[in-house]
Structure 1
Amino acid sequence: MKIDTNDVISVTDASAQGVSKLVSEASKGRHLVVFKNNQPVAAIVDIKTMERLQYLEGLEEDLKLIAVAWARTLTDSGERYDLEDVAAEFGVDLDDDED
């Protein structure tokens, strides 16, 4: 996303303009990037944009899970192990209640 220099505002200028004006600008679809010490620290966006970003974050998480599942499916040899056999291999007593 390209940032228009007209949509960059310092914290000081944002404070001087007031929340009401910034919210009004955002509700009109203007995205403002707030800078502090010459670094972008926040964005002021309309609620529709915020909801879209949250939706996309959810899709991103789903995509990561699908990628892991797919990779596991592709590399699965089909061989399975009993829990008891694995525990015995590592010397773990499954009947031991010590924790």
Structure 2
Amino acid sequence: MNVDTRDLISITDASSKGVSKLVTDAENGRPQVLMRNSKAVAAVVNIDSMDRLQRLDELEDDLRLLSIALVRAAADSGRRYDLDDVLAEVGIDPDSLDEG
């Protein structure tokens, strides 16, 4: 989503413009970025843009999980260890783990 610098608006100006005008602009594909002290703090966007952003967030999470799975698969030697064997190797009694 590209934002035109003309769509940067101070909160004071946005308040003067009114919510109805901000929403109408967003519905027509012109998002408004609200500024406070020269810093972008919020945006008024149409619902299609909001849905797209949420879907992108979901896809980002999926991609992160996929990349972790791929790295694990690439680095997996196939060798597995039994928990009791590992505990015995490091000198831990499995029954002591149940004690709080």
TM-score by length of 2: 0.89
Q: Quote the offset at 1:24 in angstroms.
A: 1.3
**Aligned residue number for residue 70 of structure 1:** 70
Structure 2: segments with no counterpart, 5+ residues: none
* Match of residue 37 from structure 1: 37
More helix by share: 2
CA-to-partner distance for each residue in 1:58-89, whole Å, 9 max, x for gaps? 00110110111001111111111001112223
Gaps of at least 5 residues in structure 1 are none
**Distance change (3 Å), C-alpha of 1:28 and 1:84:** same
Query: How many corresponding residue pairs?
Result: 99
Q: Quick check: 1:5 aligned with 2:5?
A: yes
Alignment of 1:21-32 (within 5 A): 21-32=21-32
**What amino acid maps onto 2:91 in structure 1?**
G
C-alpha distance 16-90 of structure 1, shift in aligned 2 (>3 A): farther
Distance 2:93 2:22 in 1: 63
